[in-house]
Chains A and B, each alone.
Chain A
């Protein structure tokens, strides 16, 4: 199926989670998105709209066959199960895009998924026969047997009361179908899982009675499971912060793929902009250059005969364009009292020129290929 693969909101291996629980949770959340199931080289998808399975694919299989294939591998420890969120408003587009995989409304998807649920229930309870389940459900319809009903709900580890009621009504439908055809109408109502119980508006039916009894009975479980719900909440809150990879992004992705186009990476853009700026110098870089220049100029200046000592100060300004000032203070040993009285000799001028040249040469060496920098760095030489 063509689906937008983004960061999954949930990810686990088949042996780490119960696939039925996952489906139940997603159903209770009226989840919009899809599940990706990866097993070796095989890959399957189940598209869920309002928590309901609407389309499915598994390798070359589609629809029901795909669901069956997925069902057969979901408990394997080598199966990776990932959940991806999609905005509700984008579901129609995805359904259209994957219409080949859309499960027909009259298909037996419910049976397959309920098979999965039944298997789970059978594993957890000793009562594995349909008649036992029927007994349980039947007894749950009697006000006096609420405890039995609660036990079933607990076994199913549902998140909240809504999903518990939903699952129970589904199970009940299945059993009723086998046992009592007269309850066919009730089954049809409860098959609509969007609002499994809300839609049952006929007063006096057994379903309503069950609902009336179940609501108080599951309150305790709700509290018990509130912690679980709270654990899930932050996960979903994080998902909300994710960027919107909706219909437009899927469409864009497909077009980009069609024409072999790729988005420009952040790094590439930064590289382009770095070229524009002529290389970005951080404050740390500037400090290093200052220190380096200072040492080099000092070392070269001390190589001049009769220079007793020298101090170099480099101040670079990296605001808009690199510029700066270099102050060099040098002690020249031949400066006698007589020379000082006489004023600046030619020797001093030569020394000053020599030091300036040295400084310029060191700057050029430090900024190879950008000799124009000489024009923007002021060099002051003071000889004492």
Chain B
């Protein structure tokens, strides 16, 4: 049976889309038939992270009744299937969210896992994305506004009957001004299933339009996401240790143009 998991946050800008994209790729590398659906029809950027922008048929077209969902599924990095939302404001006017459920029914037939990147906030589009899934993963940063919104999202999801798998704490910094993992677990009353460190590699990978787990699998963030993917499907994952080359060795390599 296909698992339909929505990735939601409440607050925007916590790294939800980045995690969804990378988690989708991670699950695909474990051999799971994974589809990532960008349900953020107003602010779509999943396709940017995966380097799949400019697709002719998108979720916009499906929700506008102008295309079938099968035509909006594309193969992305690592074999992950992607349904981009499309970045057309023009199409937004025709979008009918009630069509989302029908579209999902069709795509789950051919997938093991469907990840839905839910829009931020708790507007109608976000709630439609949360309600369409059976399970939900919350994403938050260890900051108060983010936790506050995550708490609200969790309560609403509970009310919608969605099972909450846990919370991912993104951009974790060892800073006393932020909430600790224990405090986050206590406030949200759900387990923290992954802690992703603050990593400049994430922005770099996004700029290249490449998922981090592909571009830099040795980074702490990649390891955390791969571990999360493994945990979700009950697989084992052995973190890839970063190269421990000395500064001089790196400098020599750089001078010789052999950095890669």
Contacts and interface: CB of A to CB of B under 8 A. Distances in A.
Interface of A: 248, 251-252, 255-256, 259-264, 268-269, 272-273, 275-276, 278, 321
Interface string B116-139: 000000111001100100000000
A322 to B, nearest CB: 12
20 contacts: A252-B187, A252-B189, A255-B179, A255-B183, A259-B187, A260-B144, A261-B144, A261-B147, A261-B151, A263-B155, A264-B151, A264-B155, A268-B152, A269-B156, A269-B159, A272-B127, A272-B152, A273-B159, A275-B123, A276-B124
Contacts of B183: 255, 259
Interface in B147-183: 147-148, 151-152, 155-156, 159-160, 179, 183
A264 B151 CA distance: 8
Given A261-B144, A263-B151, A276 B187 contact: no
Contacts of B179: 255, 259
Nearest to B125: A276
- 3 closest cross-chain pairs (CB), A and B: A276-B127, A264-B155, A264-B152
Contact of A276 (B128, B148, B151, B189): B128
Nearest to B128: A276
Contacts of B160: 273
B109 interface: no
A255 B151 CA distance: 13
Nearest to A320: B98
Given A262-B148, A272-B127, A273-B159, 12 more contacts: A255-B179, A256-B187, A259-B147, A259-B183, A260-B144, A261-B144, A264-B152, A264-B156, A273-B160, A275-B124, A276-B127, A276-B131
A287 to B, nearest CB: 24
Given A252-B187, A278-B124, A269 B155 contact: yes
B186 interface: yes
Contacts of A272: 122, 127, 152, 156
Contacts of A276: 124, 127-128, 131
Given A251-B186, A259-B147, A276-B128, A321 B156 contact: no
Contacts of A261: 144, 147-148, 151, 187
Contacts of A278: 124
Contacts, number: 49
B168 to A, nearest CB: 19
Contacts of B159: 269, 273
A320 to B, nearest CB: 8
Contact of A255 (B124, B148, B186): B186
Given A260-B144, A273-B127, A276-B127, A321 B98 contact: yes
Interface in B79-102: 98
A318 to B, nearest CB: 15
Contacts of A256: 187
Nearest to B96: A372
A261 B127 CA distance: 22
A276 B130 CA distance: 11
A257 to B, nearest CB: 11
A260 to B, nearest CB: 7
Interface in B52-69: none
A43 B187 CA distance: 28
B116 to A, nearest CB: 15
A369 to B, nearest CB: 14
B156 A252 contact: no
Contacts of A259: 144, 147, 179, 183, 187
A273 B124 CA distance: 8
A207 to B, nearest CB: 48
Nearest to B180: A255
A20 to B, nearest CB: 39
Contacts of A262: 148
A248 B122 CA distance: 28
Indicate the member of A268, A273, A275, A276 with the most B CB atoms within 10 Å: A276
B186 A252 contact: yes
Contacts of A273: 127, 156, 159-160
A256 B148 CA distance: 10
Given A261-B148, A264-B152, A248 B186 contact: yes
B38 to A, nearest CB: 19
A168 to B, nearest CB: 46
Nearest to A270: B159
Contacts of B147: 259, 261
A37 to B, nearest CB: 30
A255 B187 contact: yes
Contacts of A255: 179, 183, 186-187
A276 B157 CA distance: 12
Contacts of B155: 263-264, 269
B97 to A, nearest CB: 9
Nearest to B154: A264
A307 B98 CA distance: 41
A372 to B, nearest CB: 9
Nearest to A273: B159
Contacts of B148: 261-262
Nearest to A278: B124
A23 B86 CA distance: 70
Contacts of B98: 321
A320 B148 CA distance: 32
Contacts of A268: 152
A272 B156 CA distance: 8
Nearest to A263: B151
A321 B242 CA distance: 54
A1 B164 CA distance: 35
